[in-house]
Structure 1
Amino acid sequence: MTIDVILPCLDEAAALPWILERMPPGYTAIVADNGSTDGSAELAAGLGARVVHEPVRGFGAACHAGLLAATADVVCFMDADASLDPRQLPRVTEPVLAGTADLVLGRRMPRTRAAWPAHARLGNAVLARNLRRRTGAPLHDLGPMRACSRAGLIALGLTDRRFGYPLEMVLRASSAGWRVAEVEVDYLARSGRSKVTGTVRGTLRAVADMRRVLAG
């Protein structure tokens, strides 16, 4: 069985070789390029990944473009910055394939202090707590490594195209009666500087997007 792995990408040329060479057998990379200027798209294509271009800027826009381009029954999402190891993708897909969960998120377990700055960890913890209260889903992290049914996710009709996309996915899945679960995955120091967790400003922007989705 083939599983498509959607990698939203904006200037990740330094990380892509490590990520793409570690894709497990049966997992196909779809790099959703969001306007990279460092040759990420060309590099990914040269390394055998399928590349789709999304001109509208936004994390959710790139994720959704990759979703619409996917053809496998089960899809995964993960960041393209080498902070997550593709070899651990089977951890998040196994419950979906076994039929014991409909949406599985990877709960990030930092392996170094530098992997997850305090301001980013705090913002994530607050959002996860609010999400648990609202949905009852046993989540402690809005982790970017996740797996679910492609057709099911498209049917949820996600509309956010910014950093609220991952949160909207959980909210709509929970409202639709999906079984939501999480498994532990390693969280590594990313390649280069994060556009979100690397700065307080980036974290606040992501948190603001997610709060907007929670209030909607």
Structure 2
Amino acid sequence: MSTLSIVIPAYNEGPTIHHILDRVKAVQLTGNISKEVIIVNDCSKDNTEESILAYQSANPDLQISYYKHPVNQGKGAALHTGIKMATGDYVIIQDADLEYDPEEYNILLKPILTGFADVVYGSRFMGGNPHRILFFWHSIGNKWLTLASNMFTNLNLTDMETCYKVFRRETIQSINLKEKRFGFEPEVTAKISRIPKIRIYEVGISYYGRTYEEGKKIGMKDAFRALYCIIKYNIFSK
């Protein structure tokens, strides 16, 4: 039996994390694949830890490993911890909010399970799936960052900044990741693109975005950091 490691970075997600865990638990994976959930609490200031521990206690049938950073380091740092602790055959990134739908895990896994891919990106911009209408300039920023990344990596991705990325575990664990905040996306894309004979696929996914009042955290400074990381990891840190 194969295993999917689901890495969930969490920061101040107490009100919603039990909902996303319910959805992860409910997913029936094709191909006789089991689930390993790895939650990394990046020193939340709300009741995130209490919510996680209560859920873990009440749902012993869902394999949950819980880790906590003693100080807040950023989403990327939480992902580093989760990826390092993953033991499954495949690794997927899952945000702790409700913007991405775990029911689409099978769509993301299919190119890998059928032997075509080593890495799969879930694109919010490929069409054919529900997409909440929110921020015009966010969507423009995402597309420009994807374009800039593609110019350096020579990939033709439509959504480099997507949360949903699936990797073969040996692939993602072989990469020395540095970025501790939202620079994870351009860094991992740059480094993945340089792996010899890597096979990268992209599939369309749904997107149920949040407003800032609902808890969205990424902002303009993170967009500038992403652009910096595109330049840094494609030119100066090869």
Residue 156 of structure 1 aligns to a residue whose secondary structure is coil
Residue 119 of structure 1 aligns to a residue whose secondary structure is helix
Shift of residue 56, structure 1, vs aligned partner: 4.3
Aligned to 1:35: 43
Q: Aligned equivalents of 2:159 and 2:104: distance in 1?
A: 17
Aligned to 1:188: 208
Relative to 1, partners in 2 of residues 1:41 and 1:97: Cα closer, same or farther, differing over 3 Å?
Answer: farther
Letter in 1 for 2:41: D
8 Å Cα contact 1:138/1:180 also seen in 2: no
- Equivalent pairs, count: 208
Per-residue CA deviation, residues 39-89 of structure 1 (Å, 9 max, x unaligned), is 212212322332111234111101111111111121000211100011111
Q: Aligned equivalents of 1:41 and 1:119: distance in 2?
A: 34
Q: Aligned equivalents of 1:95 and 1:37: distance in 2?
A: 39
- Name structure 1 gaps, 5 residues minimum: 197-201
Aligned to 1:112: 132
Q: Residue 128 of structure 1 is aligned with which of 133, 146, 152?
A: 146
Alignment of 1:143-182 (within 5 A): 143-177=162-196, 178-182=198-202
8 Å Cα contact 2:124/2:131 also seen in 1: no
Relative to 1, partners in 2 of residues 1:14 and 1:171: Cα closer, same or farther, differing over 3 Å?
Answer: same
Aligned CA RMSD, in angstroms, stands at: 1.7
Q: Aligned equivalents of 1:215 and 1:189: distance in 2?
A: 27
Moved over 6 A (4+): none
Aligned to 2:5: 4
- Name structure 2 gaps, 5 residues minimum: 29-33, 57-63, 233-238
Aligned to 2:157: 139
8 Å Cα contact 1:138/1:181 also seen in 2: no
- 55-64 or 43-52, which moves further after superposition? 43-52
Q: Aligned equivalents of 2:72 and 2:178: distance in 1?
A: 14
Letter in 2 for 1:44: I
Shift of residue 212, structure 1, vs aligned partner: 1.7
- 146-155 or 183-192, which moves further after superposition? 183-192
Shift of residue 97, structure 1, vs aligned partner: 2.5
8 Å Cα contact 2:36/2:88 also seen in 1: no
**TM-score of the aligned structures, taking structure 1 as reference length:** 0.89
Letter in 2 for 1:19: I
Per-residue CA deviation, residues 101-122 of structure 1 (Å, 9 max, x unaligned), is 11111111552213xx112111
Letter in 2 for 1:124: N
Aligned to 1:90: 106
The share of aligned pairs that are identical, in percent, is 26
**TM-score of the aligned structures, taking structure 2 as reference length:** 0.82
